[in-house]
Structure 1
Amino acid sequence: MSRQLPFHTMDVFTTQPFGGNPLAIVEDADGLTTAQMQIIAREFNLSETLFVQSPDDPGHTAKVRIFFPTDEIPFAGHPTIGCAIHLAAKHFAGQKDFETTITLEEVAGLVPVEVLSAGGKAKARFTAPVIPEQHKGESPSEALAACALGLNERDIGFGDHKCRVFAGGPAFLYIPVASLDALGRAGVMEPHWSRMIAAANVDSAYLYTPGNDEIGYQARMFSPTAGIPEDPATGSATAILAAQLLASGALGEGTNSISLLQGVEMGRRSELGLEVDATGGEISSVRVSGSAVAISSGSIVIPQA
């Protein structure tokens, strides 16, 4: 039988199995080529698959590479959260209460992740490897955004929140929508969608609107050109949202703590926490937090090189 590698799946940004965003974690991946990793990611066909390798610096926990079904990406939030909780739980096997820091070497940079488990329920918080910034892409008009999402022009924007494009590793087009009703009605409409995405120079659009009760914002993320029709939870887009909120005048001085909800329309409710440190109109640090639960374990055949 061909040699196989161990894998695990996690549901991330949830405390409930079969909620949140699914993640595949493949361990012992040092000998894999990029092509082999891409084949395995396509086989799992989840929004992201993460490969764990030995760190370049022995003082760090692991080196990781993250793949969409169609391509490698430099950084992603739900793989970072899920992998950190998995590696911490593995290190503290049999213990329900622990606290540690997992340091991951990602393509975008070094990502420290604080992991805390209480009563067997683990939560992690990572610091984004780069501060989000303006991306070289064209922000669509409200009319084009509406056409691309099957909405009315009055459904796009609220307050000082306008369509903008930001990057922080990956890049996203941010589209504020006026209501939860409009958020629920949104979908990808061609040919307007492809025209909008090409002009913005991104693969993905992140929609958000003010939430109810204790939720700051509720969101959806579409990325069909990357093989992800809709993503239940997008940690990287949540981190980069900090720049969109700053540009919209929605952040105050000091630490801003914001709760977000995503994946509701997909039946995979995901809860994300965002912390943004802002001073003098500039962002100095961004952190994203969430939980994860283990779902399955097994082994996968290594593809031919």
Structure 2
Amino acid sequence: MSSIPIKQIDAFTRKPFAGNPAGVVTRADQLSATDMQRIANEMAVSETAFVLKPESESCDLRLRWFTPSREVDLCGHATIAAFHALAEEGLYGLSVDEPQSFRVETRSGILTVDVEWKDMQPYIKMGLPVPKFFPFPDDYSLLCAAIGISEIELSKKVKPQITQDGYCFIPLASYESLKTIEPNLMLMRKINERHDITGFAVVTTDTGDYDIDWHMRFFAPTLGVQEDPVTGSANGPMAVFLWHNNMVDRSKKFFSFKGYQGYLLNRPGHVTVNMAVKDGEVNLLQIAGQAVTVLEGSIRTHLNISEKL
């Protein structure tokens, strides 16, 4: 029998039972991919992160992320959670009030994660690949039916667009529409089959608050995630979406945004998004936030007990 230490950590918040919960295994080298998938399914949160030794000598560690149904290339909130756990345990040389930078090996390439400290708590900044945006390749009526809105509720300023990584960004004209959408998960799966779109980020800049740049909801039924509370991998690209569509002051070279998500699931959280521009192109994209541990214990991966039907 193997007993694996594991934590559940709420990310993009400092309050327990808010933000986005993630499972974290900080010592996962002895686990197979099958073990990781079973653990992620058992945890039944949107993603579980596994920390491993790097395969490349140029990296400090490796991360793998699993939803309840499959491994994914990128996950923001589970990375914030993973580094919060590493800082709690003092692993990889992390110590209070000592800022550090890490090169992290992932299926999305080598990413940079910086750990700083606020009030003796880790504040984690994760670099993201800069996405490219393309027009949505189908009739908007199909997309609106999948989201559960009428076409008149779409933003008049910018049209739905997709990234090369399979996220579809659907801008709405009002926060009221965002609150009242009724997603059709079966239609989302059909759109995924037709266009390989795995995630639907429904968003509005109609916030009514100078401190909030957008509100978002995110759905990924083909990944085993019906609605995600707070999605770092979608809030980050939202900054580039605004840049790409001339919705920000393009004379500026550095931007810091705040995206809010999870309020309608009673799990409010916010993502800070930093973006830098050089020679007319986005050359830095970061998501940042804090986290709080709500559960820690161990999970048993092998029991030598015969099953009797």
Aligned residues: 299
Contact 1:116 1:122 in 2 (8 A): yes
Contact 1:111 1:126 in 2 (8 A): yes
Quote how far apart the aligned CAs of 1:42 are.
0.6
Q: Deviations over 1:272-299 (max 9, x none)?
A: 0111222344221111111111111111
Q: Deviations over 1:168-194 (max 9, x none)?
A: xx4200000111110011132265433
Matches for 1:1-305 after TM superposition, within 5 Å: 2-57=1-56, 60-91=59-90, 97-128=97-128, 130-134=129-133, 138-159=136-157, 161-167=158-164, 170-189=165-184, 192-210=187-205, 211-213=207-209, 214-251=211-248, 252=250, 253-303=252-302
Q: Deviations over 1:197-224 (max 9, x none)?
A: 3333211100110123110000000111
Q: Describe the shift of the 1:260–1:195 C-alpha distance in structure 2 as closer, same or farther (beyond 3 A).
A: same
Contact 1:219 1:261 in 2 (8 A): yes
Q: Which runs of 5+ in 2 are unaligned?
A: 304-309
Q: Deviations over 1:247-280 (max 9, x none)?
A: 3212324112111001111000011011122234
Contact 2:254 2:275 in 1 (8 A): yes
Distance 1:294 1:191 in 2: 34
SS of 1:299's partner is strand
RMSD: 2.4
187-196 or 213-222, which moves further after superposition? 187-196
TM-score by length of 2: 0.89
Quote how far apart the aligned CAs of 1:127 are.
1.1
Q: Describe the shift of the 1:139–1:265 C-alpha distance in structure 2 as closer, same or farther (beyond 3 A).
A: farther
Distance 1:94 1:249 in 2: 40
Quote how far apart the aligned CAs of 1:27 are.
2.8
Distance 1:277 1:12 in 2: 24
SS of 1:38's partner is helix
Query: Which amino acid letter does the alignment assign opposite residue 40 of structure 2?
Result: A
Quote how far apart the aligned CAs of 1:70 are.
0.8
Query: Which amino acid letter does the alignment assign opposite residue 261 of structure 1?
Result: Y
Quote how far apart the aligned CAs of 1:95 are.
6.5
SS of 1:50's partner is strand
Report the identity percentage.
27
Moved over 4 A (4+): 92-96
Quote how far apart the aligned CAs of 1:71 are.
0.7
SS of 2:173's partner is coil
Q: Describe the shift of the 1:192–1:96 C-alpha distance in structure 2 as closer, same or farther (beyond 3 A).
A: same
Q: Deviations over 1:144-182 (max 9, x none)?
A: 2222222121111231x2100013xx4200000111110
SS of 2:13's partner is coil
**Residue of structure 1 in register with 2:307 after alignment:** none
49-58 or 203-212, which moves further after superposition? 49-58
Q: Describe the shift of the 1:40–1:190 C-alpha distance in structure 2 as closer, same or farther (beyond 3 A).
A: closer
SS of 1:7's partner is strand
Distance 1:138 1:55 in 2: 37
SS of 1:233's partner is coil
